Amino acid sequence: MAALSELLGDLVADVDGLFLFTPSSSHYEQFAETDVPTVVIAPENTVEAETFVELPLQFQNVKDRIRFGVEGAMEQSIVEAGDTIACNVGIFGGDPDSLVRVRVEENMRSGIYDLFANSRADPGVIRDVFEVAIELGKKGQKGEPVGALFIVGDAGKVMNKSRPLSYNPFEKSHVYVGDPIVNVMLKEFSRLDGAFVISDSGKIVSAYRYLEPSAEGVDIPKGLGARHMAGGAITRDTNATAIVLSESDGLVRAFKGGKMILEIDPEAY
């Protein structure tokens, strides 16, 4: 009869690295001298690891947490497609308590890490807006496909470079994205023209905004329409991030610095 340790040994056999997700100092010290490179993935490098990837959000979904950490490591050239890594991650709280074997694939480089880690707005705000767009892409509005444009961060400058198309229902309110009731409101208002403007902290500043910057110098793929062009242009002229849901193909795209950095099919997310 085979020992359990022998059977589970396949999980770590021939791995190219060990990823420790938010370890304590004592947990990290147990693995710091292993025979494979050790990478710490956490909000802060409190254990002073030599190789570190910032995790700006503590994703509750373990798959998302691992995917985000792997993409961050790819962005820093710590791992590459074809590598196999062992991910030591916590599911039940406290130190990492579970081990997942992951093969790194090129399609893991989706742009999500850059979207969350390098945007001006709070990462939690980016996540909440992104999730609204994803849900709209999956379910639409009353069963029909819908498009939407969310401009997140640098709200003052965005407001100065846009004009109202109609009455702003959020003008005298203090509501924030991420609140379930507010998210329902965003989905309802998405049927109407114009962009949502959201502050760095997640406050809904306005709906129904017409974005006025010119399209000159904006780098977007051919075939995308005015909503994407407007989102790309406003990110060229401000420090905002644009998250765009396409009504025609149902994909969610993100723009920063006038360029598209992310394209995701909501059904595959």
Q: What is the pLDDT along the chain (269 residues), one digit of tens a residue?
A: 556 666 668 888 899 999 999 999 999 999 878 888 999 999 899 999 999 999 887 777 888 899 999 999 999 999 999 999 999 999 887 778 899 999 999 988 888 888 888 889 998 899 899 989 999 988 877 777 888 999 999 999 999 999 999 889 898 889 999 999 988 888 888 878 899 999 999 999 999 999 988 877 777 888 788 899 999 999 999 999 999 999 888 899 999 998 898 888 888 76
Q: Which residues pair with 102 in a beta bridge?
A: 85
Its pTM stands at 0.79
Domains, the chain, ordered by start: 4-108 (3.40.1380.20), 113-268 (3.40.1700.10)
Cβ 96 vs Cβ 23: under 8 Å: yes
Separation CA 109–CA 107 (nearest Å): 5
Q: List the one residue out of 262, 266, 161, 190 whose CA is nearest residue 221.
A: 262
